[in-house]
Structures are given as C-alpha cells and as structure tokens.
Structure 1
C-alpha cells in the first residue's frame, strides 16, 4: 500500500485525527509519510489547515494542499463562491503519484464524505481513488445513525469497484452508550469490511508526544498498530 485514501461518512467524524494516527503509526514503523489535502475549506491563507494538524500530532510528515478556500463549504461550492479554480480528481491523482515516488506512504484526506464534490462537473474523492487504484479507509462515528451512513458509503465504494480497506471509529467516547457499544459488532457487518480501530474522543487535544505514543494502540495491525477488534468489541459489548 503506497497510497491510502481516507474519507469519512460525513463531517466531524474524526477524519483528521484518524489520519494523524495512521501517519504516526507508519512513522513509528519506520516508513516515510506524506499527507495530501486536496481541498481545504473554511481556513484563510495564514491559518493552520488539516494537513498542518496531522503534522503537529504525528510528526515529520510531508504535507501538501492543492487548494484552499475561505468558506466552510463543500469544495466545489467554496471554490465557486471565492471565484477560485476548483480541484480536479486527476490533479489529486497526479499529486499523490508524485509524492509516492519519494515516500513509503501517501495519505489523502478528503473533505467530508466520499461524494463531496470537488468541482461543478461532479468530480469527487472517489474518482481520485479510482484513478490511483488506491484503497479507501472510511472513518465513521460511534453512535446512533452511523450504521446507515457507513453502509451507504460502503455500497458506493463497491458500486465503483474501489478497494474498501475497512472502518475506523474516529471518536470513541470514554463512556460509550448502548448504541455505540452495539455498533462495534454491527459496523463490520453493514460495511462488509473489518473494523480497523477506534480513536479515543479528544485524542486531537493530546500533547503530540502522548498522541504518538498512543496511536498504535488505537489502530489494527493492517494500519501498523496493535489494536485488536475482537478484544475491544468483547470489552464494550452490552
């Protein structure tokens, strides 16, 4: 795996922090890592974006943004309102391929969900993943409503013939409710793909050294970690 596309089932599901955890575990395993953010929205020119946050938490990663738009909207809408050029899927694929020549792992963090539009022609992160023939990791929320959103995302990945690596819960609460605990067993069923981790709620506020020390325990072996889905699910079972 040279390129890994990371998408969410929606916004605010922990995608950036999960990307940072994947980067941190890869770095700890001795791999060089680049993080590509195709379209950063809701951030002004001199403010820190998602790729910067990944670097702060994970450590020595190469970061690249292709476009930045000031309003917190879908990239196509934000680009149009700012009278700026949109990002095209082929540009994302070309940038990732170039980064892959010098890095062991390239992480592409999308904006929102899989089908959020980059441009007015309907180009999406899914199109970039197809061009790259890259696997896709889905970040999902823990609680009520996540099963429907995850199954819809999984179905679209399969409809497009994309390689669905698995699901990471982007923010696992300290005191999980009944729905969250039941979802540990149900998520891999509706996804048709393995559960590959659970990032603790609030992990993005950890000191970077603590974040890096803990990251491997939040992610499965497939992602260079030590997290065990069966053990975690059994411990959280209602």
Structure 2
C-alpha cells in the first residue's frame, strides 16, 4: 500500500500546526504505522537547537524527522534565507524528499511555516507549490488545514480555502489547533461555521495546552476524527457546546 502524504498548513502563525502534526503522527504510531515528518524550512532556530520536527517527535514518539533548511531569524523562509545568505528551498526539493520518505514510511507529514502562502523562495513559491510538485510525481497528496478557534478565524480560513481551490487543491478537513478551556460565544459558533468557511468538514479539536508528552497519544486519539485515525465525534462535540439561542 502506498504511503499517505499529508501537508499540514495553517491559517496563520501560532494556530497549533506543530501540535496538530504531532497528534496525527501519534495516532498513526499507535496504530503501528511508520511515520516521517518533514519540515521544509525551519526558521527562528539556531543550529543544534530543537525545531518543530523535533517537537513532533518529543510529543508523538519515535519517528523519522527531516529538515531541508534552517534559518536563524524568526521570519518567512524567503526573507530569512535572504538575510542569512543561505539558499532557499524549491518545491522540487520538497517533492523529492517526500517521495524518498514515502518509499519507507506509511505516513509522511509535511509541516509548513506560518500560513499557506508564506514565501519560501525569491519566486514567491509556497507550501501549496510544494504540494502540487509532490502530486506531480504521481503521489496522492492531502491537505490538513489547522485553524484558530475564536474571532477572526472564519475570514482567514475562507481565504486559505480559496487559495487552495485556486491552485487545484482542497483541504481534507479543518482542525482547531487550540480549543480554549472556557470557550466563548464566537468559538462555539465557529464549530458550525468553520466547516462552511473551509468547504471541508471539521476533523478534530485539540485542547489548548496539549503539548505535553504524558498521555499525548490518548489525547490525540480522543481529539482527532476517524479520517485522521482517531475516534473524536464532531456531531457530539458540537452538540455539547452549541451556542445558546439569542
């Protein structure tokens, strides 16, 4: 059976992409699958320091990690590369690495930087171009969209979905990266509205503060829907947190 390839993108920075990537990885590892995580461009981390791929491994367990480039300043990869004098990453490099990892793993997760249209090189190519280049090799590519819970998320989610559609891509689902313990009205309404904005189902909700390795696999199983290997129930979760009528 061919490897499953999932590109994890977000509606912006700090929406929970790394924890979401770790959750998908943890569920797959618990099912006995071989998992690889690829970070095309890591920014804001010095040589020798752990990056996002290492954080995924810390939370999820033993898996293969790979970075293609690392830039010290916490900026968009293209800007960070230019300022550091280091080479940028091309979609073809990413596609080649994904294909190589797919030969020896059951699941390959590719975590982007920031939002979908963050630039990786001087030509303005993005994670979407990397996904398209990977699909161009004859590999089946899926896109997982990670979104915030509260106010403002519907606009950024809809914009990201439109950008994907314009490039011939579609999200397999939208996942809320950090559900607040005391969710307000906007967050509760967004449980119903986010799938509409994304044009894709809600496939999971991770609780805020989930980035602890103790019990992480069990938490991931309870927080991700069946399409991601978990047993989270979107209908039940939404019904329990339905916003009251005005």
Fold shared per TM-score above 0.5? yes
Task: Give the CA deviation at 1:209.
Answer: 3.1
d(CA) in 2 for partners of 1:163, 1:62:
27
1:18-37 superposed matches below 5 A: 18-37=20-39
Which of these residues, 93, 97, 101, is aligned with residue 103 of structure 2?
A: 101
| Aligned match of 2:90 | 88
CA deviations over 1:74-122 (Å, ceiling 9, x no partner): 0000000000001111111110110000000000000001110100111
Task: Give the CA deviation at 1:132.
Answer: 1.6
Which 4+ stretches in 1 moved above 6 angstroms? none
> What TM-score results when the alignment is normalised by the length of structure 1?
0.98
SS state of the match for residue 209, structure 1?
A: coil
1:105-184 superposed matches below 5 A: 105-133=107-135, 134-184=141-191
d(CA) in 2 for partners of 1:165, 1:213:
23
d(CA) in 2 for partners of 1:132, 1:75:
19
CA deviations over 1:1-60 (Å, ceiling 9, x no partner): 621000000000000000000000011111110000000000000111000000000001
Q: Does the aligned pair in 1 maintain the 2:161–2:170 contact within 8 Å?
A: no
CA deviations over 1:108-159 (Å, ceiling 9, x no partner): 0000011101001111100011112211100000000000000000111111
1:185-196 superposed matches below 5 A: 185-196=192-203
| Aligned match of 1:200 | 207
Task: Give the CA deviation at 1:163.
Answer: 3.3
Q: Does structure 1 residue 209 correspond to structure 2 residue 209?
A: no
| Aligned match of 1:65 | 67
Task: Give the CA deviation at 1:164.
Answer: 1.6
Task: Give the CA deviation at 1:200.
Answer: 0.5
**Gaps spanning 5+ residues in structure 2: where?**
136-140
d(CA) in 2 for partners of 1:185, 1:52:
34
> What TM-score results when the alignment is normalised by the length of structure 2?
0.95
**Gaps spanning 5+ residues in structure 1: where?**
none
Q: Does structure 1 residue 17 correspond to structure 2 residue 22?
A: no
Aligned positions, number: 236
